[in-house]
Amino acid sequence: MASPLKPERIQLHRTKGFRLPPTGRSVAYPSPFANPFRPATRTYPANLLAVTQFEAWLHIQPDLVTRARHDLKTCAYLACWCSPDLPCHADIWCEILSLSETDLHLWESGEMPLTSRISSTH
C-alpha cells in the first residue's frame, strides 16, 4: 500500500487578510492536536526539545494519533505559529500522516523516530 501524501507545514499569521487554505487545518492551541510542551524560548534547541517531548508523548497517546490520521488525512497544509526555520510539532504530524501502515507500526514500536527526520531539514 502506498504512503499517503505528506501535508506541508505553514505558519499561522495574524495579519489582515491571512486565511488558511481550504485544505489547511490549524494544529495550534486550542486544537486537540496542539503541542502541550511549549518551548522556553523560540530558538532552534528549545523548539527541538519541545518537538522531541511531543513525539515521545504521542507514543502514549495512540487514540490521538488514530484521530489525527482520520481527521487530518485530507489536509494538504497543517498550520502552527512556529517560524518555518524552527522545528515544530506540526512537522511531526506531517510525518505521521504520511506514514504507510507498515511505517506507522515501526514508529509506534519506537524503531523509527521522526524527530531526527525533521531536525535534519531545518
Query: What is the DSSP track for 35-101?
Result: -SS--SSSSHHHHHHHHHHHHHHHTT-HHHHHHHHHHTTT-SEEEESS-TTS--HHHHHHHHHH--H
Please indicate, yes or no, if residue 13 is contained in any of the structural domains: no
Does residue 90 lie in a domain region? yes
Domain count, the chain: 1
With a cut of 60, say whether residue 2 has pLDDT above it: no
Q: Residue 116: its pLDDT value, please?
A: 79
Q: Which residue segment(s) compose the domain that 61 sits in?
A: 26-31+41-119
Whether residue 50 lies inside any domain: the answer is yes
Burial letters 31-44, b for 16+ CB under 10 A, else e: bebbbeeebeeeee
Question: Quick one: pLDDT band at residue 34, thresholds 50, 70, 90?
Answer: very high
pLDDT of residue 35: 98
- 10 is a domain residue: no
Question: Is 17 a member of any domain?
Answer: no
**What was the pLDDT predicted at 1?**
47
| pLDDT > 90? residue 49 | yes
Average pLDDT over residues 2-22: 89
Domain assignment present for residue 84? The answer is: yes
